[in-house]
Structure 1
């Protein structure tokens, strides 16, 4: 993607891009060439040209043929051969729609407000140039290759409808970003949209629109890795709810409420038009797994002047299904319920006003809820709990799929994957990357402020794949068996062991923490008090103390422990030093064990000003080999930066240094 310099898009030959239209042209060319192998001389020039074109397209043809169109069969998603396909993958959010919390621009709270802030110091042309660079670097083929390398088989691609406007049309939207609280500016934009709609000037020049070019690009990258793509309209025209991050609306719920001067729900008309254009382009494309019509409609309720039974959502979904099916497109279509994608009253298959109810898939977004397979919601149409998901699938004989899940601890991730996999329910983790994010697949280093030239330059640099840090503990939680425990780092004795480099694995296996997962959305307390470095229940703080790796384990409660896989390379008794502090009023006591046998005990007295200090104790004789070292909290209060083991021939008494 970094090579893209113009709206015309990259070369299919150079970049391996293989839009759906090339697939069918390639098949036609190959067929024509074989059938006309004995053609007359006057036709040989045309034949040679067609053969050259076939060779040009052949790499993409091979990629596209790896995947087959998916369809619904009862409660399963199956491929063209009838084999069940369980889609498990990652969301590629924050790219084709910027969400403030992913970029650490929370005070701006939406892409439109980010753009408005940028437009205070940039021209429209400079803004477009920045976003072209951002889209060229934030996600590239290297990111998609990395997703595939972890064993996933799909990506969900959230996008903003404004990518399917021309750049000239986006200038009208910029005017509202400059004056977001001006009703006249909003109304002027709506009337421009209505005019473009009536004059058939929306989404018509696919070759020149950023949205189609970017979708084609992602489809090519994914096909090269045998990954399916879910096309997700994440920011619908007008906004599907009240959350600015995902709606990027100027007025909340305008998708459901805004009428133009002709009395039309113009944003809905535009949404239908967009999906008609998408269906026209991709209707035969096997790389597309599903169309996700509208992400997370929410607050569509009586409190906001709408119905209390999802009637408005039913009407729009029915229009969208009919529009796509009317083009002969039989792709799976993913429906998202009210309340951030989960509640389906009046949206079940029997309630939709459609003739063709085939290939429907029902979505859930699972955040901050129990993974207990026995937990149920009394509303059978609220399906984010595991039991409700399975029951809904069985009752309506439709596939269900978790389009988003995450934003929690590794313990919760592992439990969610275990529960969903047990039911053969696919899922897609949120999110691929985020700034200073411990829950994502990739972590982007801090960059400053997006509103400054230096900050923007750093963001473009730091968000590139080769600058990101893989969150290996997150990957392990999503891909390893529930009982697995694996080293986070290679640790040897003698040597220094940083406290935060404890093993990867679930609570009770790699560590024990009293609060390791969030299962109540109303409970805001983080599972990791510092939300730093790792994504477990173990609390971690940033430190600048000597010889530190920058982090320390903190807020340790009595009975908590962490395990380390270590290799003892030299047998003998050791001096164990620990870099600690104690902000409590009473002494803290930590026990160190090797394979369950106590090898030393550390007492950390309270220190004025909570200064870091080093305490040292002798150990018992440690045998050579691979062992489990455990730090156990007998009495709370201490923070630990590191443990250091040095061979010692003389006893060491405990004391501060």
Structure 2
């Protein structure tokens, strides 16, 4: 259904066929199906797969091409064999053999249907399923026996995939195993050569009752869709391989972005697991190498079935369906070369290659950015769908057109310099790369085609990592499709092959279709100017891009000519130098760190910096620096647990605590999350955690990872049982965080818990309750000099208290339990080291924290 865009009106093949028969008769419907089968897979498709680098094809088979349904058998219990299916497999096998490609036979639709998800197996609820009919199971066994006997000596038959994605309530999978064993025995009666593939129940991933293996030439196949691509996502199936010494195969995955494709294949191959992808083609898609055009005639038929259009005539319906059948031929499809590039080439290399040839002077079409990985050919914030892991669907290409990366592409009808598509749905700091060939060095103008309903969108261009334009501001054109020219002048380009980067500098939206470059003059015709600036990766510097190559030595004595303003205050500059790897860039180092919220401006009033051709750099004032630093939590700060920078293993769920939102949970030993933080000075904090747990205790360790990737333990925290997964309690510890930028890693040592948020807070003053209540607690003397400490509870009926002593780095030193005498406890602290100590007093359900100096 979904592959035909008909899920809501004809979700299965038999429903689709019945509706066509009603519309244009049985003969014309059969003619359509024959044309579809003749065009959908051809010799050219197999040749292409081989050329792209694939070594196998998994063929999804419908039993009705090989034998009649049990309801149509002339003699009940006997099997009528149809040549059509066998002949089609013969042809495909010949094409595969000619290309050294293995053919894997996959029974996608078994007699009666093997799954309640009817669209997958063509299950008809009005008839007995595979599991409700011994005759259907007998026919399935017989079909595999026929296939095995026919292909037993064929070396390019790779495997027999016995049943695709069973999804039926089969207690213990007892009936599934029984049928698998019966099919295996029938195959082995004639064929001992070929591998047998066993898929689990519930869409291939439940192997309950299907171990140990019953054949010495079989493998287990699982399917993978929409989940994370980390080691944990495959560990569950690897353990099955290790336990039973049986090979694994990821028999079906896909329907996601190129980022997901690359990451999934990478983790599979790292673990020596073979794979197969879905689909090769379907109607109007970006997720496969070929997209079948969604024709107006076929849309009319669907709209009629939806009661949204008049009934087409027989001839209109026939013409529309035959057009659709012919369009399934790859020669008539839209070719998505980025898909197989992500699956094959990008697994092996970070290299980007041109999507098309780009010459300057000439036109760059914005959707034709280079082929390559995320962060190499492009960057887009939304680039993958992990809905199976997160519970939330996320679009990657929000325009759902042209390419399968995160870049958002839509169609347009701009008559000027358009290839029919444009980039839209932009976000700050997204970018795309274009490999170009510049015919000669000189000054160029750029004619940029943009459209927007509002003014204020910003972008700039860079060449080989150095800005070549100032930041450009887009004005409203009146509509999203009303493209107009934005002209940029005096762009210096050098002859040769280069990479042009289109940077988006603001979240204000606009669409961009193309850039046409025209040579307008020579480099010497323009002054030596500062164009742009941005923050450096080290978070302590800014980079100034100039329009001409710098004479490096001229920069060395220029520090007194620069001023740097951060948030309206002058910041000390520690050094100014020419960039070691960029010809047109100056680096200004500053004392202290910069953060992503800083507003930064640079001025220059000197005459000593020159270009390599002798031009003097023009002075400039208040050049705005693009702050492209990664956002960090600036301490002190409350951090929502779900706002991690990176995470492995946790799940998210709705949180009923005050403030709502999400909490992380489903914790296991080894799970961790990382958060980016900045601390402007070494300081002690009270680390508060908002936790919940139905049972048991858990242990968390927090680590700081510095800019050199050195990991230091910050503290270890034990979480309590709170009585429920949404029964929340705040616990605290004390930590000292040094100055600097860090990744804060929260690591689960053991146990299950939910975490809503954690907070770095300035420690409470002496005598203040962590919950903000009047403590009524006195700790004295402070400082303490004679190892005798007194703790007094005022207006309290407590008779017992617990006192915990911690070092300033939150290391636990000692626990004492004391009885009060007239509300006061006399405590010997001779075992406590001298210096600053954190004292926590627990009385009833309250706890009180104090700083204590022992001398």
TM-score, reference length from structure 2: 0.56
Contact 1:241 1:253 in 2 (8 A): no
Q: Identify which of structures 1 and 2 has the higher relative contact order when contacts are C-alpha pairs closer than 8 Å and 6+ apart.
A: 1
Whole-angstrom distance in 2 between the partners of 1:192 and 1:488: 52
* Map of 1:538 onto structure 2: 407
- RMSD between aligned residues: 2.2
Q: After superposition, give the CA deviation of every residue in 1:341-366 in whole Å (9 maximum; x if it has no partner).
A: 1121111225xxx5xx2111111111
SS in 2 for 1:239: coil
Corresponding residue number in structure 2 for 1:324 = 187
User: Is the Cα contact below 8 Å between 2:458 and 2:474 reproduced in 1?
Assistant: yes
Contact 1:233–1:295 (8 Å) recurs in 2: yes
Corresponding position of 1:639: 511
What is residue 156 of structure 2 aligned with on the other side?
287
The CA deviation string for residues 48-105 of structure 1, in whole angstroms up to 9 with x for no partner, is xxxxxxxxxxxxxxxxxxxxxxxxxxxxxxxxxxxxxxxxxxxxxxxxxxxx332333
The alpha-carbon distance between structure 1 residues 565 and 319, as it changes in their structure 2 partners (threshold 3 A), is same
Kindly tell me: are residues 278 and 607 of structure 1, through their superposed partners in 2, closer, same or farther at Cα, counting changes over 3 Å?
A: same
Cα displacement (A) at 1:116: 0.7
Contact 2:197 2:221 in 1 (8 A): yes
Within the candidate set 250, 253, 261, 2:124 is matched to: 250
Q: Name the residue aligned to 2:251.
A: 403
**Contact in 1 for aligned 2:326/2:332 (Cα 8 Å):** yes
Shift of 1:607: 4.5
| Residue among 6, 14, 18 paired with 1:112 | 14
Take 2:127 and 2:121, find their aligned partners in 1: how far apart are those partners? 9
Q: What is the CA–CA distance in structure 2 between the aligned matches of 1:269 and 1:619, rounded to whole Å? A: 77
The CA distance in 2 between the partners of 1:526 and 1:109, in whole Å, is 23
Aligned to 1:485: 352
Contact 1:144 1:221 in 2 (8 A): yes
8 Å CA contact 1:412, 1:517 repeated in 2 = yes
Matches within 5 A, 1:244-643: 244-251=118-125, 254-259=128-133, 265-298=134-167, 300-301=168-169, 306-307=170-171, 309-349=172-212, 354=214, 357-373=215-231, 375=232, 385-450=233-298, 452-480=317-345, 481-521=348-388, 522-547=391-416, 548-584=418-454, 587-600=456-469, 601-610=471-480, 611-636=482-507, 637-643=509-515
Cα drift, residue 287 of structure 1: 2.1
Q: Is the contact between residue 446 and residue 518 of structure 2 (CA under 8 Å) also seen in structure 1?
A: yes
Structure number having the greater helix percentage: 1
- Distance, in Å, in 2 between the alignment partners of 1:477 and 1:253 is 42
The answer for the alignment partner of 2:103 in structure 1 is 229
Question: Larger radius of gyration, structure 1 or 2?
Answer: 2
Q: Distance in 1 between matches of 2:28 and 2:493?
A: 64
More strand as a share of residues: 2
After superposition, where does 1:103-142 map in structure 2 within 5 Å? 103-106=4-7, 107-142=9-44
Deviation at 1:489, TM superposition (A): 0.9
Contact 2:338–2:404 (Cα < 8 Å) also in 1: yes
Counterparts of 1:288 and 1:565, CA distance in 2:
42
Question: Take 1:126 and 1:609, find their aligned partners in 2: how far apart are those partners?
Answer: 45
Distance 1:525 1:281 in 2: 46
CA contact (8 A) 1:197 1:270 kept: no
1:208-256: CA deviations, max 9, x gaps?
Answer: 5211111111111111111111111101111111223211111189435
Count, aligned residues: 498
Segments of structure 1 that go 5 or more residues without pairing to the other structure are: 1-99, 174-189, 260-264, 376-384, 652-657
Match of 1:91 in 2: none
**Helix, strand or coil at the partner of 2:498:** strand
Q: Which whole-Å CA distance do the structure 2 matches of 1:627 and 1:595 have between them?
A: 6
**1:322: Cα distance to partner?**
2.1
DSSP 3-state at the match of 2:468: strand
Q: Deviations over 1:481-515 (max 9, x none)?
A: 24121110111221111110111111111111111
Work out whether residues 240 and 254 of structure 1, in 8 Å CA contact, stay in contact via their aligned partners in 2. no
Conserved 8 A contact 1:552-1:641: yes
Indicate if the aligned counterparts of 1:581 and 1:639 stay in contact, CA closer than 8 A.
Answer: yes
* 1:215 matched to 2:89: yes
**CA deviation profile, 1:352-409 (whole Å, cap 9, x unmatched):** xx5xx21111111111111122x2xxxxxxxxx3323333222211111111121111
